[in-house]
Structure 1
Amino acid sequence: MPRPLTGRLGLVSPFAILTCGAALACTVPDSGPVTAYGRLLRADALTVWMLLTVGAVACLACAANPAHLAHERTDEPAARRYLLLVHAFLAAMSAAVLAANLGVLWVAIEATTIVTAFLVGHRRTRASVEAAWKYVVICSAGIALAFLGTVLLYYAARQAGIPEADALDWQALRAHAGRLDPSVTRLATGLVVLGFGAKAGLAPLHAWLPDAHSQAPAPVSALMSGVLLSVAFAGLLRYKVIADTALGTGFTRTLLAGVAVLTLALATALLLAQRDYKRMLAYSSMEHMSLIALGTAVGSPLALSAVLLHVAGHGLAKTVAFCASGHIARLCGTTRIGRIRGLLAHSPCLGTAFGAAVVALLGLPPFGLFASELGIARAGFLSGPRWALAAALVLMLAAFAALAARTARMLLGPPPGEDDEEEPVPLGADAAAPLVAGLAACAALGVTTGPLTALLSEAGEIIGGR
């Protein structure tokens, strides 16, 4: 089959996810959640918001796949295997956000680990295979902890008299959480935060993230950073709702705030010393996931709505940044920051797209991350924990300076060793389209959520246990 046709067919499943999310967004806020397959799957407002995010990010990332495969000169069997794995990855993430049963949720998130391990090692170089093994080992350890936490929660449910068929059903656990044993629930919640936190890029099991994101193909890095981290955190949110009812909000608030500040401190320290722009973007993902965890710890309606807005804005901006980084690597032949100068002069369209994506990640207007970070900060100072927010603001300033300085070093000045009269390198319409679309969508979220406002509010209420 001709390569352009396979590239177009590769957009079918992302558009299907986005279309299903849009259809559900029109019905769920008014008609309530939709269940299927004996309540194993459930689409509520939180599910729909995550489906829309997965679909939007997947459309942008999969649109970049043909250029990646063409540059890599991938043979047909390898290209088919790569595209099949990408669609399996999207299916696993969709199953994770749709799961109404905590056991199905755990299986779906474990499936993302298995599939993405092969995608991280797609190039079959020594560095990519090493990154894939590191990813498998650390994330499998985290998933094992999450499995143990799920088993303990099942035990607490059975001890509380919940029927076996409903002992892992999220809705049943949420309704009867007040009857769960507090000690067992507290231990289960801690294990789940560590386990799913590993998949979400949170400390202390975060070490896989920079290696995997730097070695994976650019579209895969975009999917992993843009939505996989958020999908894993959305799974954690389901457990948080149960824990808040069983234990009160204080336990998860302290736990998530501590993990958020620790992750942000590590990400900032590593950003200050970073010399590789793909790893720089990976550490930026850690920074943003820590902000999402901090907003969840605050727990007010404003903070939770800002968290969900941050999930979508970060997914779009990081997808553009990683896809642009793939084009930069092809153009310059390196991922070292010190070897790239004058990108705006060398390729104006590519340099502008990468610079705008970094501006969005820095939380500057008019992009959606500006609104979400402002919402998290305002809610934190109103509701607490103020100590965590104060520490986060100081660390964010250092991370801001590091990311801005390294990006400016890449974009500004004349290209090294280039003739001043050499023509700029065009990006091409097919490569530029997903970058422009992603930036436009991220900017639109910064201005208004439009028809998604009711969905965003309802999803925030679900996280808050209301």
Structure 2
Amino acid sequence: MTLAVLAPVLLPVLAAGGYWLLGWNRGTAWLGALAAGGLLASAIVLSGAGQAVTLWGLLRVDALSSFMLVVIGAVSFLAMLASPAYLAAELAAGHTVPRAARRYGVLTQTFIAAMTLAVIASNLGVMWVAIEATTILTAFLVGFHKSKQATEAAWKYVVICSVGIVLAFLGIVIVHYAALHAGLATPAALDGATLARHAAGLDPGVMRIAAVLLVLGFGTKAGLAPMHAWLPDAHSQAPAPVSALMSGVLLSVAFYAILRVKVIIDAALGPTAMRILLVSAALASLAVAAALLLGQRDYKRLLAYSSIEHMGLLALGAAIGTRLALVAVLLHILGHGLGKSALFLSSGHINQAVGSSRIDAVRGLVLRSPLLAGTFALGLLALLGMPPFSLFASELGIVRAGFSAGLGWAIALALLLMLVIVAAVGQHGRRMLLGSPGTTTQAVLLPKTAAVPVIAALVACAILGITTSPLNDLLQGAAAIAGATP
């Protein structure tokens, strides 16, 4: 079992070493996919363990972290399967060079390793270090193309997320201070499980300050308003598989950190404090997404603003805090990761073929590439929460839980904002898919090696919308650890 705990971190590190030593070529291009496949297999093994596994007092895998490893493994596998075709097209077009492709391989694998470390860390300090490492690593990936826009996006990402991560660090320092004054020994003063058990003895005034700092800090990395401004620029400039990883996994890893500290803060202060913070962030995020999607002219930025919407929905579900709400939140994390991966991978090939990410540059996609148009259209339907995709089931669960918990006013406002988002995204998607291609008749092709992960993501998202049977026990166990109330 020790090997299974370490494998999610070690496998991508070994793949990164392979890229560093051998470079990116036909023989090594699939190293990332193999490592991600091994990560997913390890996550499945750990999810069936039935009990928490602790290693060295610093790493802990329970149902919640196992579920997050499944999400990371699934989305990483899809992104790495699509990477060889994407980079081959970039190399053929002269948009990148073999040395840059080698750097891509090293950075993506160390990025995945940092995310896995973040979700299996039992120590809040180690979790913080791992999340900060993702900022450093992905900054180079955001600026991968070295254009003016990419460089600006990378710097904006670093500056804003660094501010957020400093706030989170201050929050963790304050929690540590409260733990020491409550009599906890130094090794246990940052252990999440220990803090949750002894939270009743933590000073309430100190913990209120920590709650605000932690939500603002980790919420910045999760793309929650008001610290969301980095997200559209970074996601629109990064290579498509990296955008899939950042939107589909990185945001959720940051939100996982919020779930972990929420358990401690709820035990120390009761649920009201975090509920106020999370409902405020949720509604602000939905309002920002709705307002900016209406006039959006860039389809990659459109997908990025959609991520802000979905993080807002996760925050709303976490604020409700019941078992139904948290199960729906976890299902939403997985469904969003699968759906957003399909969309970003599809948009990457549209961008390579058209040479622009502007919505006006893409017309008549159905006529120019039926397969790519079909995957993009289905991805949009999944993103908008249409059946049979799992996002429909998870959003319905959040709505039901909200009304049952007495937060009907927040749910009603959220539904109104979501209606605006559906109309905006639907209108932009219609223009891209059904508009007249005019004089442009160039075909937009989706390579077979890229089509497989996109189709697989959509199929998995649809299956989860019909039945969650394979994940039922894991979802219920993870929701309980996340502090679900009856």
TM-score band (shorter)? over 0.9
Q: Which moved more, 1:425-434 or 1:248-257?
A: 425-434
Q: Residues 293 and 424 of structure 2 are in contact (CA less than 8 Å); yes or no, is this contact kept in structure 1?
A: yes
2:400 aligned counterpart, secondary structure = helix
Distance 1:238 1:321 in 2: 29
Distance 1:426 1:134 in 2: 33
2:223 aligned counterpart, secondary structure = coil
Q: Residues 178 and 245 of structure 1 are in contact (CA less than 8 Å); yes or no, is this contact kept in structure 2?
A: yes
The question of 1:433 aligning with 2:455 is answered: no
Cα-to-partner distance string for 1:39-69 (whole Å, 9 max, x where unaligned) = 2000000001100000000011111111221
Match for residue 33 of structure 1?
52
Q: CA deviation at 1:398?
A: 0.2
Say which of 375, 395, 420 aligns to 1:353.
375
Q: CA deviation at 1:450?
A: 1.7
Say which of 403, 412, 423 aligns to 1:401.
423
Q: Which moved more, 1:107-116 or 1:441-450?
A: 441-450
The question of 1:80 aligning with 2:102 is answered: yes
1:433 aligned counterpart, secondary structure = helix
Match for residue 66 of structure 1?
84
Say which of 336, 346, 349 aligns to 1:324.
346
Cα-to-partner distance string for 1:356-384 (whole Å, 9 max, x where unaligned) = 00000000001000000000001101113
Match for residue 386 of structure 1?
408
Say which of 422, 433, 452 aligns to 2:471.
452
Percent identity, aligned pairs only, is 57
2:48 aligned counterpart, secondary structure = helix
1:4 aligned counterpart, secondary structure = coil
Which consecutive residues of structure 1, in runs of 5 or more, have no partner in the other structure? none
Match for residue 309 of structure 1?
331
Distance 1:114 1:458 in 2: 33
Match for residue 462 of structure 2?
443
Q: CA deviation at 1:147?
A: 0.2
Q: CA deviation at 1:165?
A: 1.0
Q: Residues 353 and 445 of structure 2 are in contact (CA less than 8 Å); yes or no, is this contact kept in structure 1?
A: no
Distance 2:445 2:243 in 1: 24
Cα-to-partner distance string for 1:127-177 (whole Å, 9 max, x where unaligned) = 101100000000000000000000000000000001111000111101100
Q: CA deviation at 1:425?
A: 4.7
Q: CA deviation at 1:339?
A: 2.0
Distance 1:426 1:182 in 2: 58
Q: CA deviation at 1:426?
A: 4.1
Match for residue 119 of structure 2?
97
Distance 2:387 2:467 in 1: 12
Q: CA deviation at 1:312?
A: 0.1
**What amino acid maps onto 1:113 in structure 2?**
T
Q: How many residues are paired up? A: 459
Q: Residues 3 and 66 of structure 1 are in contact (CA less than 8 Å); yes or no, is this contact kept in structure 2?
A: no
Which consecutive residues of structure 2, in runs of 5 or more, have no partner in the other structure? 1-21
**What amino acid maps onto 1:182 in structure 2?**
P
Q: Residues 63 and 474 of structure 2 are in contact (CA less than 8 Å); yes or no, is this contact kept in structure 1?
A: yes
Distance 1:428 1:17 in 2: 25
Say which of 109, 130, 140 aligns to 2:131.
109
Q: Residues 223 and 231 of structure 2 are in contact (CA less than 8 Å); yes or no, is this contact kept in structure 1?
A: yes
Query: TM-score, normalised on structure 1?
Result: 0.97
Q: Residues 99 and 105 of structure 1 are in contact (CA less than 8 Å); yes or no, is this contact kept in structure 2?
A: yes
Match for residue 289 of structure 2?
267
Q: Residues 328 and 394 of structure 2 are in contact (CA less than 8 Å); yes or no, is this contact kept in structure 1?
A: yes
Q: Residues 326 and 484 of structure 2 are in contact (CA less than 8 Å); yes or no, is this contact kept in structure 1?
A: no
RMSD between aligned residues:
1.2
Match for residue 194 of structure 1?
216
Distance 1:127 1:11 in 2: 29
Distance 2:129 2:38 in 1: 22
Say which of 270, 273, 280 aligns to 1:251.
273
Q: CA deviation at 1:414?
A: 3.3
1:7 aligned counterpart, secondary structure = coil
**What amino acid maps onto 1:366 in structure 2?**
P
Q: Residues 391 and 465 of structure 2 are in contact (CA less than 8 Å); yes or no, is this contact kept in structure 1?
A: yes
Say which of 250, 264, 272 aligns to 1:242.
264
Cα-to-partner distance string for 1:428-458 (whole Å, 9 max, x where unaligned) = 3112101110001111110111221001001
1:3 aligned counterpart, secondary structure = coil
Distance 2:388 2:27 in 1: 36
Q: Residues 241 and 465 of structure 1 are in contact (CA less than 8 Å); yes or no, is this contact kept in structure 2?
A: no
Cα-to-partner distance string for 1:404-444 (whole Å, 9 max, x where unaligned) = 1100110003322145xx8x554231121011100011111
The 5-angstrom pairing of residues 145-164 of structure 1 reads 145-164=167-186
1:384 aligned counterpart, secondary structure = coil
The question of 1:11 aligning with 2:37 is answered: no
Q: Which moved more, 1:426-435 or 1:115-124?
A: 426-435
Q: Which moved more, 1:124-133 or 1:7-16?
A: 7-16
The question of 1:368 aligning with 2:386 is answered: no
**What amino acid maps onto 1:456 in structure 2?**
L
2:60 aligned counterpart, secondary structure = strand
Distance 1:39 1:339 in 2: 54
Query: TM-score, normalised on structure 2?
Result: 0.93
**What amino acid maps onto 1:308 in structure 2?**
L
